[in-house]
Each structure stands twice: as C-alpha cells, then as structure tokens.
Amino acid sequence: MAALESLPVSAGAKRASLDPVTKAALARQRRRKRRLRKLLLTLLVAALGVLFFVPFLWMLSTSLKFDTEVYRIPPTWIPQTVRWANYPEALTYVPFGRYFGNTMFYAAFTVAGTVFSSALVAYSFSRLQWKQRDLVFGLILATMMVPYQVTMIPQYLIFKRLGWLNTYLPMIVPSYFGMPYFIFMMRQFFMTIPMELSDAARIDGCTEFRIFTTIILPLAKPSLAAVGLFRFMDCWNDYMGPLIYLRDTKKYTVALGLQYLRQYGNAASAEQMWPRLMAASTVVTVPIMLLYFFTQRTFVEGIALTGVKG
C-alpha cells in the first residue's frame, strides 16, 4: 500500500482532482493565452502586409505628383497637388491599349495550351499504368533544374530556322507540350481522385479520353484554375520572352511597353517621365491584384489540394 501511494500522479489525475472553480479558472487562462497568441500573430502578419504594400503605395503616390515633387527631399507621401493627367498621358504616350490587347492574346492562347496539355500528361502519369512511367516522370521533373539561360540560345536558333521570329509562336507553341511544374501539380491532384471512378467508367465502356474529359477534368477545377492563374500571371509579367522574339513595337506586350515608355519618354522629354511611368505601372499592376483578390479562394484551394497525396 505504501508503494502504491508513492507512485507519481499523472497530469490527467491532477486535473480530475481539481474543484470546478479551479478548472474554470485554468480554462479561462488557456483561452486568454490562445487569444494573445492569435492577436500577436495577426499583428505580425498585418505588419508584414503593410511592409510589402509600401512599394505599391509609393508607386501610386508618385503617379499623382508633378515631376519636381518626385525629387523632393525629404520625400512626400501625399502629393501637394494631385495631377490626374499623368494617367491619360502615360497611356497615350505609347499605345498601351494595343499592348494590353497583345498581352491578352498571348496570355489566352498560352493559358489554354498549358492547362490542357499539362492536364493530359498528368493524367497519364497518375491514372494509367505503363512501363517506365516513374522513370519518365523523374526525367521530366529533372528538366526543371535546367536554367532557362542554358536553353535560351538553342531555342532561339530553332525558332529562327522555323521563321517564327517577330511572332508570338515561340512563346505560345511550347505551352502546348506541357510544363514540368504544372504537370507535377496536376498529377498530385489527380492522385487524390479515387481510382474506382475510372474503373466504373471503363466497365461502362468509356474510353480513356472520355474518362479524362467527362470525369477527371470536372473534378479537377480547383487545380485547373490554379494552373491557369499561375500561367496568366507569368504571361502578364513576361519580359524576357517578348524581348527576345519580338521586333515590331506594335506587337509589344505591357512589360515591354513599360520599358519602351521609359526609354522613349526619357529620350523625348524628361519632364513628367517618372510620374507617367509610375502611372502606367499602376495600371499594369492593378489587374493582377484584382485577379488575385477575387480568385484567392480558388487559388489557395488549388495549391493546397495538390499536396494532399503524393
């Protein structure tokens, strides 16, 4: 009996032995600690958000200033005199309307090709059984480690031989052959879909392509949306591709249009050059921000679900 009394009492037994008043006090203390941790985490995230938002605020402020106020020291965050004319002047100084249309054309065909081809290849790697499947998948992933600078010149020579320079074909056509990163993303999502659905469809006489289009793709809308958003933002911000392959200024995208505005505006007249450039940059940045703001739920869901099963 003495030996039993000397045994240590567990934490659960100690909590069970406490009176209800003490238990309620401990519960309130734990809730306060959780609220405090949540509050500190929220404040930290808010501070980081403000820190990352500062460059956009400075760009917006500069876009509404006169040129003389841009170089003022100490800098002013709120313009003394708001100059809205910077926006129409920036968008008409170079043909930004045409550049927006060119970018949408380039992005639409590239997104369509990337989504369909990557989904089709990912379906093969995740739902079909064939020899050396995992080896080929590993080789495809290995190509992600090859820097673009290594393949840039060979690709340029190939497209030059094909006569595709000064067209959008060098930037659009490769997307119809799949992209390793997006193939990996969609493969991970397809593997979360039960195989029983495909087996039942095969018993009913469906072909693999029909299973892919009528069963798998409708279930993979979050993943497809995430891939489409990723690729659209890549095309919208793409600077290197249009710089390499496009020669005619009428075919420029918005990324090249900003650089063209900087060079042409500086050569023609230095007056109001920076406010105009910031105004054009604001107009180019806002669509991406709005796109992410209205689709962030789908975006986050698509990213999260691709890592459920590996």
Amino acid at position 265, single letter: G
Of the listed ranges 84-88, 153-157, 235-239, the least confidently predicted one is 84-88
Dihedral over Cα of 141, 215, 177, 233: its sign: negative
Give yes or no for residue 297 having a pLDDT over 60.
Answer: yes
Task: Return d(Cα 138, Cα 111) in angstroms, integer.
Answer: 24
DSSP SS3 for 75? coil
Q: Give me the percent of the chain exceeding a pLDDT of 90.
A: 28
Mean pLDDT over 74-102 rounds to 86
What is the percent of the chain with per-residue pLDDT over 70, rounded to a whole number?
87
pLDDT band of residue 3 (cuts 50, 70, 90) is very low
Q: What angle do CA 56, 62, 63 make, to 5 degrees?
A: 90
Higher per-residue confidence, 187 vs 5: 187
**Using CA atoms, how far apart are residues 87 and 279, in angstroms rounded to an integer?**
5
DSSP percent split of the chain into helix, strand, coil, nearest 5? 80, 0, 20
From the list 174, 221, 169, 226, the residue with the least C-alpha distance to 193 is: 221
As a whole number, mean pLDDT of residues 204-211 equals 87
pLDDT at residue 21 above 80?
no
Peptide bond into 74 cis (omega under 30): yes
Tokens at 52, concatenated: 């990352």
Indicate if the pLDDT at residue 119 is higher than 70: yes
> What's the pLDDT score for residue 270?
59
- The reported pLDDT for the residue numbered 69 is 83
Where residue 301 falls among pLDDT bands split at 50, 70, 90? low
Q: How far apart are the first and last CA of the chain?
A: 55
**pTM of this prediction?**
0.78
Closest CA to 274 of 99, 75, 98, 100: 75
The pLDDT score that the predictor gives to residue 98 is 92
| Structure tokens given for 175 | 């997307």
Tokens standing for residue 51: 């820190």
Mean of pLDDT values over 216-232: 88
Distance (Å, whole) CA 218 – CA 229:
17
For the stretch 122-168, pLDDT in tens is 999 988 888 888 899 999 989 988 888 899 999 999 999 999 999 99
- Structure tokens of 196? 């029983």
Higher per-residue pLDDT: 61 or 307: 61
Please state the rounded mean pLDDT for residues 58-67: 87
| DSSP code for 243 | H
pLDDT at residue 172, rounded to an integer: 94
Q: Which of 35-39, 149-153, 256-260, 272-276 has the lowest mean pLDDT?
A: 272-276
Is the pLDDT confidence value at 110 over 90?
A: yes
At 309, the pLDDT band (50, 70, 90 cuts) reads very low
8 Å CB contact between 220 and 189: yes
> 192-195: which pairs have CB atoms within 8 A and are 24 or more residues apart?
192/305, 192/308, 192/309, 193/219, 193/220, 195/127
Lowest mean pLDDT segment, chosen from 36-50, 121-135, 176-190, 282-296: 282-296
Most confident by average pLDDT, 204-208, 214-218, 242-246: 242-246
For residues 256-281, give the mean pLDDT: 77
Over residues 68-76, mean pLDDT: 82
Q: What is the pLDDT of residue 5?
A: 47
Question: What pLDDT is stored for residue 300 in this prediction?
Answer: 67
